[in-house]
Structure 1
Amino acid sequence: MSAQSFGGRHELGQNFLADPAVIAAVCTAAGRTTGPLVELAAGDGALTIPLSRTGRPLTAVELDPRRARRLDRRTGEHVKVVHGDLLRHRLPDVPHTVVGNLPFHLTTATLRRLFRQPHWELAVLLVQWEVARRRAGIGGASQMTAAWWPWFEFAVPARVPAHAFRPRPAVDGGILVLTRRPEPLVEDRAEYQEFVREVFTGRGRGLGGILPRTGRLSVRAARTWLARQRLSPRALPRDLTAGQWASLWELAR
């Protein structure tokens, strides 16, 4: 690919993949499933072209009309290149896999939208390293992760150095893999997510103090649950696992 191809428009947040090993890793991760593929922020086709070689139906969404036209000329009939906004593109109504090298500044908005879409089974996304780490609960989970953990598994199989992109961003990236659980760990999504918000924003020195202030558990019940989970009363919401959130909600609901 020519150097000119990497001349990303910064207002679109474009940092194109240029490392064959990373490209192969993303394509391999997407290969865990069958059926249609949807690629978000296709750019110049660093992922589109190798994904198209699988023969699976592929829709590539790209905001830059010039790049979309150029990519359309390079792909076969089973690839549909769409000039459109990744935050507005309508995803298929059948099981599918989402792939994308996301503009870093759109990562959170993209995830929020994906979490509410019902039909995708797997998402393999290149995002900013710090976001990937937090979403997967490495070093502590974020409120967003805790809110959606009962419905999705999060994994980070690889850190992607900044030099793997052109233009080179100021920070590293990471491959974030989201897998929809066959069966959710909890029901009543709205109520559960409100509980997660209450816990993350609650006052107190650790969960031993925070949980009783939600009005859902007594001090004794909170401390008993923490002891059974082998957690200190000073443990924080970010320290809980997906299974522990599900267990806590079962007790608090």
Structure 2
Amino acid sequence: MAQNFAHGNYSHTQKKARSSGGGRTPRDRARRELSQNFLVDRHALELVVKAAAPAGPVLEPGAGEGALTLALAEAGAQVTAYEIDPRLAGRLASRTRDDPRIDVVRGDFTAARAPHEPFAVVGNIPYAVTSRIVDWCLRAPGLTSATLLTQLEYARKRTGDYGRWSLVTVESWPWFDWRLGERIGRESFRPVPSVDSAILRVERRPEPLAGSRRDYQALVELGFSGVGGSLRASLRTRYEGVDAALAAAGVARDTVVGYVRPDQWITLYDRLR
């Protein structure tokens, strides 16, 4: 569920908030603390489901009121829906009690143990814990794909849409493909957040990079470390033949590390290992 960055009270809660003594109702406070913004636009739901193409086991972080949960089940998924808010989890569990396609878990998704069998993750996730959820997905050996509705800026940064590449994307690139999907306007949520969202698709590659994952990630982390003040200087602290490797990858000596594309990093790894 997307995080709510709006700072004003909503009209239907103002009177309750004033009389509560705390400025907001308990429901308002829960929405802020748990980043609760519910997807209410049917077309947006269809876009998420289409991008996910769910089949088989699907884990859903932040199920909320269950709109996406039901849509995923209707599309053929066997959904395990995680919801940390006990009130919402109880309501969704009661609502889906007789539906064998849905299992509601009251708890924190990021503390869950990943299934042994292949599975996908699909969710309208809280902005506040986006990085934790993405990290969980990247660490799960059985994950086939993650289709996540995130803050637009986050999705653009992770997929190189600004022309720059992040450490998280580059060091996972040989094993995961990152794609920017449809943009979802803020008006598709209730309460309405102050930013738009986008569908982020992370899919495990069927044929990952040959070589050592640890060695590749050590190379990338060194490059992003800033040691020496440039990518070239950082790499030269540990590797020989850096200039030749940069030339083979088509990377100028003064290129800022964020502008080095993932495919160029793979060439660097091939030349320097």
Provide TM-score, normalisation by structure 1: 0.89
Within the alignment, does 1:24 sit opposite 2:46 as a pair?
A: yes
Give 2:43's aligned amino acid.
Answer: A
Mark the runs of 5 or more structure 2 residues left unpaired by the alignment.
1-11, 14-26
Which of these residues, 249, 260, 263, is aligned with residue 240 of structure 1? 260
1:62 has 2:83 as partner:
yes
Q: Deviations over 1:156-204 (max 9, x none)?
A: 1122222222112222211110000112114322232222111011345
CA deviations over 1:216-235 (Å, ceiling 9, x no partner): 13xxx333333333332222
Superposition pairs of residues 1-253 of structure 1, within 5 angstroms: 9-31=31-53, 34-75=55-96, 76-139=99-162, 140-204=164-228, 206-212=230-236, 214-217=237-240, 221-253=241-273
Q: Give, as a single letter, the amino acid of the residue that structure 1 aligns with 2:188.
A: A
Match of 2:211, SS state, is coil
Taking only aligned residues, the RMSD between alpha carbons, in angstroms, comes to 2.1
CA distance in 1, matches of 2:224, 2:117: 35
How far, CA to CA, are the matches of 1:83 and 1:201 in structure 2?
39
Pair 39,85 (structure 1): closer, same or farther in 2 beyond 3 Å = same
Counterpart of 2:220 in 1: which secondary structure? Answer: helix
Native 8 Å contact 1:100 1:124 kept in 2: yes
Deviation at 1:239, TM superposition (A): 1.9
| TM-score calculated relative to the size of structure 2 | 0.83
In structure 2, what is the Cα distance between the partners aligned to 1:126 and 1:56?
18
In structure 2, what residue type is equivalent to 1:195? L
Q: Is the 8 A contact 1:209 1:233 kept in 2?
A: no
Question: How far did 1:206 drift?
Answer: 4.5
Moved more, 223-232 or 34-43: 223-232
SS of residue paired to 1:163: helix
Q: How many residues align?
A: 245
Contact 2:182 2:199 in 1 (8 A): yes
Unaligned runs of 5+ in 1: none
